[in-house]
Structure 1
Amino acid sequence: MRPESLEFFKKLVEAPSPSGYEQPAQRVFRDYIAPFAEVKTDVMGNVIGLIRGGGENLPRVMVVGHSDEIGFQVKYIDDNGFIYFAPIGGVDAHLTPGKRVRIHTAKGEVAGVIGKKPIHLMDEEDRRKVVRLDAQYIDIGATDKKEALEYVRVGDPVTFAAGFERLLGDRVACRAFDDKAGSFVVAEVLRAVAESGVKLPVDLYGVSSVQEEIGLRGGATSAYSVNPHVGICVEVDFATDQPDVEKKHNGEVKLGKGPILPRGANINPPLFDLLSSTAEREEIAVQYTGIPRASGTDANVMQISRGGVATALVKLPLRYMHTPVEVISLSDLDQAVRLIVAALPGMAGDFTPR
């Protein structure tokens, strides 16, 4: 991965963006694509970049990844200054106690920790229990409620404090790769098309959507406004090359072996064939999975927008989804960009299944 792209990726994933509070990350995305695309932000907060093709009344292709991450929201501050919170998106109550967090306030970031009763003070039954999220609390070091309210107010978003870190090889760890890795690929597709100088036979829309984790909301509204003929959703998917994940659930998926092309009801068959044949022609390694239902991604709402859209998924293998230590391979991101860019010229055709 080129150094400038890696720096953009790092800034994007470290910018806080719980669902409904995405604009710090969206500003990073918007600034990055502004030199090579027409850019607008809609009332939902979706950022849409457009590169026009070579002609008039061209088919519209929409490539989308969502910018929002899981997180928390401040719900209540008690008399002693401890802060109670609710999850934004799917947060596992097993992993939150003892974690460092950042509360994103009007006055800037406030550091905190999610407290936990010491094991010495627990009886056997307590040790076996998972503490419910609504019983957990954040300690910012305040002496009482009055002091806490000088810094924090109800409704402020909260993220895990985990930042971007290099592991061995091309593997990296951070929170929020789900799905800012997808938004990154969208931005890099726009950049690669612009820098190629080639006029495509389609108008290309690259979208960094919002509020996916709480109901695919930004994907639905952006698809309605763009009204694409073809839609590609770039998402993460469960890598099954860690010891405790069952391959029978999601197939054999490994980090560093290329992007994933799923098949199923959410995937337009001719569009899947185009992506698969493009990968073969360009010698891009890909992996295959099956999704025998709605996919639970922005591809789902895009497919059924208006009169229907020819839709496909390009997914990125990810370990430890919805934790502060998600792990991804940088080469998988690069190969996903290559695949989508190479397939774009073929997306001006008819994708009606026959």
Structure 2
Amino acid sequence: MTDQNFSFLKELVEAPSPSGFEQPAQRVIRRHLDGVVDELTTDVMGNVIGLVKGQGENLPRVMLAGHCDEIGLMVKYIDDQGFIYFAAIGGIDAHLVPGQRVYIHGQTRSVLGVVGKKPIHLMDQKDRETVIKLKSQFIDIGCRNREEVQELVAVGDPVTFAVGLERLENDRVISRAFDDKMGAFIVARVLQEVRTRGAAPVDLYGVSTVQEEIGLRGGATSVYGVNPDLGIAVEVGFATDVPEIDKKENGETKVGGGPIIARGPNINPALFELLTATAREENIPCQIVGHPRATGTDANVMQLSRGGVATALVSVPLRYMHTPVELLSLEDLENTVRLLSGLIYRIGNRKMFIPN
């Protein structure tokens, strides 16, 4: 990955974007796509949609979607002593929250705070074995009372963990919110790549969707608006190459093994075959995972839009999902960009995806 693309990825994942509050991340996406795409719009939901027009008339419409929202917290109540109580935005693991540094993103600035925790010395054995419910946890920003807090923080303000992107050994990186700003990054990169290559046989729409973590909302509305013939969700997938994950139940996927291509009823079989053929022909490592039901991603709502869409799910293997230390391989990101860019030039016509 070039230094320029790494800087783009870092800026994007570190921009705060809990579901419903995505515009700091979307501003990054818009800036990097400005001058690249033929059309760049933002809809009423906050989805950012870029179009790279193909060569010809009445071309197949292809939509790539990666959601830019992340899990987070929301301020619910401020007590008289200035402690701030909160609720989850998306799937927050209550185990992980106590003792974390957080940013509360207010109207004027982001305020640093900590999630307080009783010292272990003052806990009895039962308390040590019990997960503290989120509604009983609180944020301390150092203020002495409610009035001081209210000068900085308001009910409804979003909260994120105060961590960003850092490098580990080899090509591994960690950050909060790779799920799924990494997907929005890949979509933007594919738009850039197709613009550079030119003469695509499709009209390519790249969408950075919103509110996926709370119900696939931006995916549902944007696919209805774009009305594509083909839709591909770009997501994170569970890497099972760590202790205590059952491969018999979850399949075998590893960080550094290449993009994960889903197979199952949520996936158009002809599009699946075209993806795997592209990987073979381009010498791109890939991994296959079975999804016997709906995938729980934007691919689900894409498939069911209007009269139906030929849909696929391509994921990057991720360790420690929905934690502040999500881990992935930069090489997997690059290979996913290669796979999707190569696929675009192998799409012939709409009819090739109709089952027979």
Compute the TM-score of the two structures, normalised by the length of structure 2.
0.98
Tell me how far 1:347 sits from its aligned partner: 2.4
The aligned residue for residue 111 of structure 1 is 112
- Give secondary structure in 2 for the equivalent of 1:348: coil
The aligned residue for residue 347 of structure 1 is 347
The aligned residue for residue 34 of structure 1 is 34
The aligned residue for residue 174 of structure 1 is 175
Distance 2:62 2:55 in 1: 14
Tell me how far 1:2 sits from its aligned partner: 1.2
Distance 2:344 2:308 in 1: 19
TM alignment of 1:52-67, pairs within 5 A? 52-67=53-68
Q: Is the 8 A contact 1:261 1:286 kept in 2?
A: yes
1:334 aligns with 2:324: no
Cα deviation code 1:314-346 (max 9, x no counterpart):
100000000000001000010001001111122
The aligned residue for residue 313 of structure 2 is 313
Tell me how far 1:249 sits from its aligned partner: 2.2
The aligned residue for residue 95 of structure 1 is 96
TM alignment of 1:1-354, pairs within 5 A? 1-37=1-37, 38-196=39-197, 198-349=198-349, 350=351, 351-354=353-356
Which runs of 5 or more residues in structure 1 are unaligned? none
Query: What one-letter code is carried by the residue in structure 1 that aligns with 2:132?
Result: V
Distance 1:348 1:51 in 2: 17
Distance 1:183 1:347 in 2: 22
Tell me how far 1:162 sits from its aligned partner: 1.0
Distance 2:177 2:348 in 1: 33
Tell me how far 1:348 sits from its aligned partner: 3.5
Distance 2:103 2:355 in 1: 48
Query: What one-letter code is carried by the residue in structure 1 that aligns with 2:159?
Result: V
Cα deviation code 1:124-183 (max 9, x no counterpart):
111110000010000000100000000000000000001110000110000000001100
Query: What one-letter code is carried by the residue in structure 1 that aligns with 2:181?
Result: K
Cα deviation code 1:70-109 (max 9, x no counterpart):
0000000000000000000000000100000000001111
Distance 2:182 2:124 in 1: 42
Cα deviation code 1:220-248 (max 9, x no counterpart):
00000000000011000110111122212
Report how many residues are paired: 353
- Give secondary structure in 1 for the equivalent of 2:345: helix
- Give secondary structure in 1 for the equivalent of 2:347: helix
C-alpha RMSD of matched pairs (Å): 0.7
Distance 1:95 1:206 in 2: 34
- Give secondary structure in 1 for the equivalent of 2:232: strand
- Give secondary structure in 2 for the equivalent of 1:346: coil
Distance 1:72 1:56 in 2: 46
Query: What one-letter code is carried by the residue in structure 2 that aligns with 1:122?
Result: M
Distance 2:146 2:348 in 1: 60
Distance 1:125 1:243 in 2: 27
Cα deviation code 1:27-47 (max 9, x no counterpart):
001100112112100000000
Distance 1:180 1:250 in 2: 23
Distance 1:275 1:326 in 2: 26
Distance 2:162 2:244 in 1: 25
Q: Is the 8 A contact 1:61 1:347 kept in 2?
A: no
Q: Is the 8 A contact 1:230 1:347 kept in 2?
A: no
Q: Which moved more, 1:344-353 or 1:111-120?
A: 344-353
Distance 2:348 2:204 in 1: 11
